[in-house]
Structures are given as C-alpha cells and as structure tokens.
C-alpha cells in the first residue's frame, strides 16, 4: 500500500476536511486503504454503514452513512446496494441482515461483539417469559438475533422511553441494560423488570469524574449516553443516543463540552464543530476498535465475514425490529 500521487490526488479533499484532527503522517498510512476501499465499493455496488464510534478515518474517509444504531437499522432497510459492510459491531450487522435479508451483509471482524449483547441469550428470555407470563419484552437493539426472536419490540437509546410508553401497559421486561432500564424507569410510570447487563465502556464513568471536570472547567456542558450509571446521568446536562449527543453539540455550540461516551465521538464531530472545545476523559470500546481499514478492505475484497442466519430466526427477530422502526425516534 503506497501513498503515491494518484492516492494523494483522490484522497486530498477528504484530508482537507479532517486535517485538524489527524496529523499528515497518520493520513499517509490510511489514505492508500481509503482510496482502495472507495474504488472497490463502486465496483461491487457496496455500501459502508458506520457507527458513530468508528475512528475518524472510517467515519470521514469511507463511510457512506454514519449514525446511531437506530438510523443504521433504518438505512440498512432502504439501501439499494448489493453488499452492506457494517463498520460497527456484530449485533449491528445482524440487525442490518434482519432488515435486508436478501443482501449480503459483511462484518470486517466477527470478534467485534458487545458486553450487553453477550450478557443474555434467547434461552434466558424464554425463562423470563415463563416467570412473568403476559408481560411484554422490550429488548435493546444491542442483543443477538436469538434474543430479538423472543422479543415483542426492540428499542435503541434514541427511542427506549417512547417504545415502552407506546405499549400502554403498566409492566414490561426490559433487556439487557440495567442502567438504560433505570433511565427509562425514571422517565415513565411503567414498572420495569430489568436484567443485569452493562456496557463495559459507559460503566467506567463516575460521578466524581464529572464533578472534577465541572470544577476544572466552569461553564462546561456535560452530555451523557443513557448506558451510563444513573448517578452519572443525573450529574449531566443532557442525555441522548450517540446521534442525539451529536445534534446537541451542533445545535447548541457549547464553548466547552464533555461527551460522556466512547472516545471517537469527539474526534469525529470536532471536524464539523471547530469552535467547540472537547474535554476528553473518554473511554474506548474494544469491540468497535476491532474494525480497521485493512480489515474492511480484506472483507470487501474477499467478501468474508458474511452474516448467516436461519430463516426462522430472521422471520421472528425481524418483527421486533420492524415494530421499533415503525414507532420511530
Ligand atoms: P447508539 O444507539 O446511541 O448509537 O448506541 C449504540 C451503542 O452501542 C452505544 O454504546
Ligand atoms: Fe457494546 Fe458498550 Fe461497545 Fe456500545 S460501547 S458496542 S454498548 S460494549
């Protein structure tokens, strides 16, 4: 992979956009991959969907669409491309397959998982349904297709409260994120039966960290993802999905902001918000960071990492995602 004149010419407009967040020396390593991937995408009629936690060279360099998990699921259902490459984690690729079962969906690293998704199985949900007969099951989209197949309706961090309220019941089983369940409970009158799953990234933030950041940065706005512990959410100025957090910064243009979430978020949106100063005691998601440009290139070239699911699971799991999409954000 050589950073030659052809590569430089083709990728320069992208670099001009992100030069403030990436040194030239680093760009010269990424650019040949970006050029190759962007050519191959066209040849193969492939689309790259990227989650907001992907690194800037993926987010700005090759993604056709970058978003939170709700918008990624919707986009997967609409695309006319033949191949979808998910620059994200396994549950996101599975959700894309559920929404577009006839498309080839590829994940560049099959080990890119999620601590929430791996905290619960389809069998666990069946046991819960036996224990609480008739109580509807709302599952976070951060779950496997087996769990979704046992679920009445999915939700994401962008619409969890709306989805729970839409059911018109006084009790729901809400899986698997215990902190998101507590957040939803604080926003509704519905009784929530939760599971003990946590996100290993957001669980690391503490109230003391927030208090210290505020002390050292008077006037700062602190915005948190709802996967954070309840006391962190309480100490923050705003709570929303990754796209909700991005929109908060775009719309409010705070002088200083701390995004209580994964590290790449601040890097990615610094580009479009040059006047905002990002204070970054952030945490890295080891799963999201498994996705790299060389892996994306290899997976697209050889069409490896295909998401395969049996027809019965697809049909059952798809219903819960479709219901969520119909209710919306
Ligand atoms: P969003 O749906 O807010 O993008 O969150 C997905 C996720 O995995 C956050 O940790
Ligand atoms: Fe899962 Fe947390 Fe990583 Fe999101 S940040 S993919 S919830 S482990």
Residues 171, 232 within the same domain: no
With 90 as the cut, is the pLDDT of residue 320 above it?
A: yes
Residues 96, 183 within the same domain: no
Residues 272, 212 within the same domain: yes
Lowest mean pLDDT among 20-24, 169-173, 189-193, 307-311: 20-24
| pLDDT tens per residue, range 205-223 | 999 999 999 999 999 999 9
| pLDDT tens per residue, range 269-291 | 999 999 999 998 889 999 999 99
CA of 252 to the centre of ligand 2 (A): 26
pLDDT at 276: 97
With 90 as the cut, is the pLDDT of residue 300 above it?
A: yes
pLDDT at 1: 83
Based on the structure, what is the number of domains in the chain? 3
pLDDT at 281: 86
Residue 263: CATH number of its domain: 3.40.50.10800
| pLDDT, mean of residues 32-36 | 98
Q: Is residue 312 part of a domain?
A: no
pLDDT at 298: 98
User: What mean pLDDT, rounded, does the chain reach?
Assistant: 97
CA of 2 to the centre of ligand 2 (A): 34
| pLDDT tens per residue, range 211-260 | 999 999 999 999 999 999 999 999 999 999 999 999 999 999 999 999 99
Q: Is residue 14 part of a domain?
A: yes
Residues 179, 237 within the same domain: no
Q: Is residue 321 part of a domain?
A: no
Tell me which ligand sits closest to the C-alpha of residue 51: 1
Residues 132, 168 within the same domain: yes
Nearest CA to ligand 1 atom 8: 142
Tell me which ligand sits closest to the C-alpha of residue 242: 1
pTM of the entire structure?
0.96
Q: Which of 172, 198, 224 is the last residue of a domain?
A: 198
| pLDDT tens per residue, range 101-136 | 999 999 999 999 999 999 999 999 999 999 999 999
Residues 87, 147 within the same domain: no
How far is 165 from 135, CA to CA, in rounded Å?
A: 14
Residues 122, 143 within the same domain: yes
69 in ligand 1 pocket by Cβ < 6 Å?
A: yes
Tell me which ligand sits closest to the C-alpha of residue 116: 2
Determine the residue of 67, 119, 156 to mutate for testing ligand 1's pocket, defined as the one with the most ligand atoms within 8 A of the Cβ atom: 156
With 90 as the cut, is the pLDDT of residue 83 above it?
A: yes
Residues 189, 131 within the same domain: yes
Q: Is residue 21 part of a domain?
A: yes
Residues 83, 154 within the same domain: no
Q: Is residue 318 part of a domain?
A: no
Q: Which of 173, 198, 223 is the last residue of a domain?
A: 198
Q: Is residue 307 part of a domain?
A: no
pLDDT band at 49 (very low <50, low <70, confident <90, very high): very high
Residues 13, 97 within the same domain: yes
- Pocket, ligand 2, Cβ cutoff 6 A: 89, 114-116, 142, 199-201, 227, 262, 285, 287-288
Q: Which of 138, 171, 198 is the last residue of a domain?
A: 198
Residues 236, 261 within the same domain: yes
Determine the residue of 50, 72, 115 to mutate for testing ligand 2's pocket, defined as the one with the most ligand atoms within 8 A of the Cβ atom: 115
With 90 as the cut, is the pLDDT of residue 162 above it?
A: yes
Strand-pairing partners, residue 260, are 224
Residues 271, 185 within the same domain: no
Q: What is the share, in percent, of the chain residues with pLDDT greater than 70?
A: 100
Q: Is residue 42 part of a domain?
A: yes
User: Which structural domain, as residue segments, surrounds residue 40?
Assistant: 5-113+288-302
| pLDDT, mean of residues 73-92 | 97
Q: Is residue 189 part of a domain?
A: yes
């Amino acid at each position: 992979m050589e950073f030659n004149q052809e590569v430089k010419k083709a990728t320069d407009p992208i670099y001009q956009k992100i030069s403030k967040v990436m040194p030239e020396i680093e760009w010269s390593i990424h650019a040949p991959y970006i050029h190759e991937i962007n050519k191959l995408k066209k040849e193969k009629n492939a689309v790259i969907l990227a989650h907001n936690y992907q690194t800037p060279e993926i987010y700005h360099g090759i993604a056709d669409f970058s978003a939170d998990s709700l918008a990624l699921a919707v986009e997967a259902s609409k695309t006319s491309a033949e191949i979808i490459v998910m620059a994200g984690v396994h549950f996101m690729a599975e959700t894309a397959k559920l929404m577009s079962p006839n498309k080839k969906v590829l994940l560049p690293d099959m080990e890119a998982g999620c601590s929430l998704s791996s905290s619960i199985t389809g069998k666990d949900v069946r046991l819960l349904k036996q224990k609480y007969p008739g109580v509807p099951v709302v599952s976070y989209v951060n779950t496997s297709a087996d769990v979704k197949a046992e679920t009445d309706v999915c939700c994401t961090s962008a619409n969890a409260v709306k989805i729970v309220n839409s059911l018109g019941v006084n009790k729901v089983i809400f899986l698997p994120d215990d902190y998101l369940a507590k957040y939803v409970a604080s926003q509704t009158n519905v009784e929530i039966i939760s599971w003990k799953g946590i996100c290993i990234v957001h669980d690391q933030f503490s109230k003391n960290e927030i208090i210290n950041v505020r002390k050292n940065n008077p006037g700062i706005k602190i915005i948190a993802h709802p996967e954070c512990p309840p006391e962190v959410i309480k100490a923050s100025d705003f709570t929303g999905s990754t796209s909700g957090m991005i929109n908060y910064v775009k719309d409010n243009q705070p002088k200083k902001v701390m995004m209580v979430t994964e590290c790449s978020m601040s890097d990615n949106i610094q580009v479009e918000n040059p006047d905002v100063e990002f204070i970054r005691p952030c945490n890295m998601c080891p799963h999201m960071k498994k996705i790299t440009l060389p892996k994306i290139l290899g997976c697209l070239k050889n069409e490896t990492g295909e998401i395969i699911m049996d027809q019965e699971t697809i049909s059952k799991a798809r219903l819960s995602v479709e219901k969520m999409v119909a209710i919306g954000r």
